[in-house]
Amino acid sequence: MSHISKILLVIVGVVVLCGLWVGASYNGLVGSREAVKTAFANVDTQYQRRMDLIPNIVATVQGSAKFEQSTLQAVVEARSAWAKAKTAGDTTTQIAAAQGFDGALSRLLVTVEAYPDLKSTQAFRDLITELEGSENRISVARRDYNNAVQTYNVNIKRFPTNILAASFGFTAEPFFQAQAGAGKAPQVKF
């Protein structure tokens, strides 16, 4: 085998290895991006479960107590904002709408604390149990989503894959984050 043949063989080998790396890296990035989409779909499913449950809770509260109208309005508006964000399909808008709904829901639950008769009705207790289950599922789904986003974002930022990611248009995904002031309990004043 001649010297030129050996050089060509090495060049072909390097090109093949680079091609395999590009293919494997691209497929890994696609897999990571799809994991993020799947995780967000799971979050979306849990939020939808909560959104379907809320009208029942609001109706029960309305039927059992005359409570602050602004709280009810905030819940209804937050639910509407979620529906609009979901229709728009923008992850960042959906995250913001979900966080707005979290605040409205916590104000509703604080308002309910002022009505001991309401808390004693079986229908309300059942709905609150369902809501607590929904909140737990949402928390788990958000954590799973954030884990998938972290993995994906790290993959697109690591060298040399970041060059490939930029070339093929892979961009960072947003995290679910606690809202400013989320650590403070909401206050309801009558």
DSSP 188: -
CA dist 32 and 79 (Å) reads 30
Q: Is residue 47 part of a domain?
A: yes
pLDDT, one tens digit per residue, over 49-73 is 777 777 777 776 666 555 556 666 7
Q: What percent of the chain has pLDDT over 70?
A: 79
Domain count, the chain: 1
Residue 31 domain flag: yes
Q: What is the pLDDT of residue 118?
A: 57
Q: Find the domain containing 97 and state its range.
A: 3-167
Whether the pLDDT of residue 151 is over 80: the answer is yes
Q: Measure the CA–CA gap between 86 and 94, rounded to whole angstroms.
A: 6
Sequence letter at residue 172: A
Q: What is the CATH number of the domain that holds 10?
A: 1.20.1440.20
Between 49 and 141, the higher pLDDT residue: 141
Under a CB-based contact definition with an 8 Å cutoff, are residues 99 and 179 in contact? yes
Q: Does the residue 185 lie in any domain?
A: no
- The pLDDT confidence band at residue 80, using thresholds 50, 70 and 90, is confident
> Is residue 70 assigned to a domain?
yes
The three-state DSSP-derived secondary structure of 142-181 is HHHHHHHHHHHHHHHHCCCHHHHHHHCCCCCCCCCCCCCC
**pLDDT at position 143 over 80:** yes
Residue 11 lies in a domain: yes
Cβ neighbors of 58 (< 8 A, separation 6 or more) are 72, 75, 76, 108
A 10 A CB-CB count for 184 gives 7
What sign does the CA torsion over 93, 104, 137, 134 have?
negative
132 in any annotated domain: yes
Q: Is residue 172 part of a domain?
A: no
Does residue 42 fall inside a structural domain?
Answer: yes
The model carries a pTM of: 0.60
Least confident of 103-112, 130-139, 157-166: 103-112
